[in-house]
Homo-oligomer: A and B are copies of this chain.
């Protein structure tokens, strides 16, 4: 009876989409998982594993026995197998590679040898390649045989005898062609490909630009090495967005929710401490103007307001430029126009803020003098802040320096120092006048 129930469960479970199977699997307790391993063969398990997150794969693979594991890894796509094995410690990865089929193991080793975040590292070897001399009908027959093992069959790549990429034909074109038409007449020979050492972000941009479902990866002599598929590209784009936000907040590598508190502090504190050292410069600036401050202590009350407003205006400009760089819309517009635009925007916002403060400060703090100093300062520092916010990322992009230095916190610190200099210079000169 129990066996019957198991069989029925198995059948219903396997009808689910692998993503849903993985979701259920990850929620099971250990005993239930052990039950599942007896019902599901390694090939079926490979589909489930592919749909898990890397972190989950890493944890769960340890409870499988060696034989089951190596069988399963044989059935993973090479890119997924390489990702998983590079998460394990070296001896475990080595043992699994030895237990795998020789050909699959060699493919996986090849991918693991490419530098991370390159086309070579994220590509898969399960692509379909055709001979240009075959007919449409012959290709369809080839597909029937090879389709189960290919990651996509919708783009078919044509190679010559030296395995060099010479063309591409879509399954759509193949299907609508006459069955005796030759591949060489159907294929497009202007095939867009990427080198194996191309950065993954470039690959993603290219696939996005052309609306491709996959892109071929070639070696320096044009040999077809593998393909990058659109689902991998979506993951790359998400990763890059996470990275951008991390850099924007000087929290690189630490926005991952799986990192421990200690790890997170280790990754984040260097930035906070470094920025604090810059912050010590602001303390130095204020100390220089201690005499001015002694005469009107109320000036101290508006330091955070001024710093905050300049910081916000600068970060807005930064966001405009960072997105413009990421989407490639900036170059089209011309850099000078962008800077001029940001400066104008800064002046307009500064003017509005200044007018508001000229009205409010006398009412609540009773000092026209301070209102004028703060109003003039906010106008100047907001104009400067937008320029700083827009210029710094552009310079850093041109000079190819670490983009973390263009992050919000760095720009805010620079704007803090400039803003304080503006504030106390205006205050000191006005005090001299009186």
List the interface of chain A (C-beta within 8 A of B): 15-17, 19, 53, 140, 143-144, 147-148, 153-154, 171-172, 175-176, 188, 190, 192, 208-211, 213, 230-231, 233-235, 237-238, 241-242, 244-246, 248-251, 254-255, 257-258, 260-262, 264-265, 268-269, 271-273, 275-276, 279-280, 282-284, 286-287, 290, 293-294, 297-298, 300-305, 307-309, 311-313, 315-316, 318-320, 322-324, 326-327, 329-330, 333, 338, 340-342, 344-345, 348-349, 352-353, 356-357, 360, 364-365, 378, 382, 408-409, 412-413, 416, 420
Among A272, A327, A408, A420, max chain B CB count under 10 A is at A272
Looking at the complex, which one of B257, B294, B349, B408 makes contact with A272 (CB distance below 8 Å)?
B349
Q: Which residue of B lies closest to A327 (CB)?
A: B238
Looking at the complex, which one of B233, B276, B319, B324 makes contact with A249 (CB distance below 8 Å)?
B319
Top 5 nearest A-B pairs (CB, nearest first) are A279-B305, A265-B348, A261-B344, A251-B316, A282-B304
**CA separation between A2 and B133, bound complex, in Å?**
37
14 contacts between A and B (CB under 8 A): A19-B211, A208-B235, A251-B320, A254-B316, A255-B320, A257-B324, A257-B330, A258-B329, A265-B344, A269-B353, A282-B304, A282-B305, A284-B364, A293-B300
* Contact indicator A275/B190 (Cβ below 8 Å): no
Give min CB distance, A127 to chain B, whole Å. Answer: 14
Chain B contacts of A302 at CB under 8 A? 283
* Contact indicator B293/A276 (Cβ below 8 Å): no
Among A148, A192, A251, max chain B CB count under 10 A is at A251
Give min CB distance, A145 to chain B, whole Å. Answer: 9
**CA separation between A209 and B50, bound complex, in Å?**
12
* Contact indicator A269/B349 (Cβ below 8 Å): yes
Give min CB distance, A255 to chain B, whole Å. Answer: 5
Copies, count: 2
Chain B contacts of A19 at CB under 8 A? 209-211
* Contact indicator B175/A273 (Cβ below 8 Å): no
Looking at the complex, which one of B143, B172, B275 makes contact with A147 (CB distance below 8 Å)?
B172
**CA separation between A172 and B304, bound complex, in Å?**
62
Are A308 and B286 also in contact (CB < 8 A) when A153-B175, A246-B319 are?
no
Q: Which residue of B lies closest to A242 (CB)?
A: B323
**CA separation between A290 and B348, bound complex, in Å?**
33
Looking at the complex, which one of B264, B311, B409 makes contact with A341 (CB distance below 8 Å)?
B264
**CA separation between A319 and B349, bound complex, in Å?**
27
Give min CB distance, A372 to chain B, whole Å. Answer: 16
Chain B contacts of A176 at CB under 8 A? 143-144, 147-148
Chain B contacts of A413 at CB under 8 A? 308
* Contact indicator A348/B262 (Cβ below 8 Å): yes
Q: Which residue of B lies closest to A146 (CB)?
A: B176
* Contact indicator B190/A16 (Cβ below 8 Å): yes
Are A272 and B210 also in contact (CB < 8 A) when A234-B237, A261-B345 are?
no
Are A412 and B237 also in contact (CB < 8 A) when A257-B333, A272-B349, A345-B264 are?
no
* Contact indicator A338/B257 (Cβ below 8 Å): yes
* Contact indicator A15/B190 (Cβ below 8 Å): yes
* Contact indicator A282/B308 (Cβ below 8 Å): yes
**CA separation between A264 and B408, bound complex, in Å?**
19
Q: Which residue of B lies closest to A389 (CB)?
A: B249
**CA separation between A297 and B322, bound complex, in Å?**
39
Q: Which residue of B lies closest to A298 (CB)?
A: B287
Chain B contacts of A153 at CB under 8 A? 171-172, 175
* Contact indicator A211/B237 (Cβ below 8 Å): no
Give min CB distance, A59 to chain B, whole Å. Answer: 13
**CA separation between A378 and B99, bound complex, in Å?**
55
Are A349 and B265 also in contact (CB < 8 A) when A286-B304, A412-B308 are?
yes
Chain B contacts of A275 at CB under 8 A? 308-309, 312
Give min CB distance, A86 to chain B, whole Å. Answer: 20
Q: Which residue of B lies closest to A233 (CB)?
A: B234
**Supplied contacts A147-B175, A261-B341, A268-B316, 16 more A-B pairs, CB within 8 Å:** A148-B176, A154-B154, A237-B238, A242-B327, A245-B319, A255-B320, A265-B349, A271-B316, A279-B309, A287-B365, A293-B297, A300-B300, A304-B420, A307-B307, A308-B409, A315-B408
